[in-house]
Amino acid sequence: MKITILDDYQHAVKRLNCIKLLENQQVDIVNYTIKNDIDLAGKLAGTNILVLIRERTIISESLLKLLPDLKLISQTGKISNHLDLAACTKYKIAVAEGVGSPIAPAELTWALIMNTIRKIPQAIDGMKNGNWQINIGSTVHGKTIGIWGYGKIGQLIAQYARVFGARVLVWGSQVSRDKAISDGFEQAETKETFFKSADIITLHLRLNQNTFGLVRLEDLLMMKSNAVLINTARAELIEKGALLTFLKAHPSNFAGIDVFENEPIYDRYFEYLGLSNVICTPHLGYVEENGYELYFKKAFENVMNFIKGNPTNIANPEVLNL
């Protein structure tokens, strides 16, 4: 069977130890993104198994109907709204779901917190330009870190904050808040209290119909005058245009952003990059060596099990009987 792996921007897949699982298979690795369905379908002609790197490629019905040879999509990480599972089932394409880890995204979140409040990138740029100590940042110690979404990543952030001597304030579902209280942290009584009280707000929600555009401009306007917003979850959690509008109007507020509405971004004049109160990273949350080995090992195991006639972790098992 022909196996195609999409969107390997960093040419990382061929260097993974787990690539050995696909020995003796016909493997095509694509190192760039193809947005147009017709062009992508042309590239995928004859592909029987497609391996996706997280949500980098949109798998829509309009694409699937152009791929008559496709039998399996093996997802690295969990299935999200980038993939139309119902359409996959309609076209008799099995979807194998992978595994995830909260460690790399939690660590990147913490790195963005440290960099924004200490204003480290700005100080580095100043030094590169021949200047010395151009700014002054602050510490995490004694700050209130607001965590919206107390899942696996949010829980790690809370533990990091505790070690650094910060107060943790959790907002989200009642289940999340109850869990935070049981772990010894505080819950916000209202969303308004959450935004008004936190020095640092970090988002850790899954993107779905209920969370799309959940953070609105009116929420951001409630933040303290020097508060920081961190988003390593999904750009679409924030109302379209709201964060950019807020940051341009409030230069004393900072943001650390790892996720964007349209990725990848190759435009050096991308508007966020021109703001001195924003730190941007190119969606590095899950992009890390150990995490990649974990994600791809499971994805490749699912591929080989499918080829051997013993499919595993199929999200739409009904297609196996069609």
Kindly list the domain boundaries of the chain, sorted by start residue. Answer: 2-100+289-321, 103-280
Long-range own/partner contacts, residues 173-177 (CB < 8 A, 24 or more apart): 176/149, 176/150, 176/151, 177/150
Q: How far apart are CA 131 and CA 127, in angstroms?
A: 5
Q: Would you call the peptide bond into 311 cis, given omega within 30 degrees of 0 as the criterion?
A: no
Q: How far apart are CA 28 and CA 122, in angstroms?
A: 41
Phi/psi of residue 171, nearest 5 degrees: -130, 155
Residue 261: both structure tokens together = 């509405």
Contact 259, 285 (CB under 8 A): yes
CATH architecture of 2-100+289-321: 3-Layer(aba) Sandwich (3.40)
- Single out the catalytic residue among 82, 186, 250, 263: 263
- Assign 3-state DSSP to the chain and report helix, strand, coil percentages, each to 5: 40, 15, 45
Contact 202, 230 (CB under 8 A): yes
Residue (of 25, 90, 16, 23) closest to 53 by Cα position: 16
Q: How far apart are CA 175 and CA 95, in angstroms?
A: 30
Count of CB atoms within 10 A of residue 144's CB? 19
Q: Is 15 a catalytic residue?
A: no
Q: Is 261 a catalytic residue?
A: no
- Single out the catalytic residue among 54, 55, 234, 239: 234
Residue (of 26, 13, 76) closest to 286 by Cα position: 76
Fold for 103-280, please state it. Answer: Rossmann fold (3.40.50)
Q: Is 289 a catalytic residue?
A: no
Full pLDDT tens readout for the chain, 322 residues: 999 999 999 999 999 999 999 999 999 999 999 999 999 999 999 999 999 999 999 999 999 999 999 999 999 998 988 999 999 999 999 999 999 999 999 999 999 999 999 999 999 999 999 999 999 999 999 999 999 999 999 999 999 999 999 999 999 999 999 999 999 999 999 999 999 999 999 999 999 999 999 999 999 999 999 999 999 999 999 999 999 999 999 999 999 999 999 999 999 999 999 999 999 999 999 999 999 999 999 999 999 999 999 999 999 999 998 7
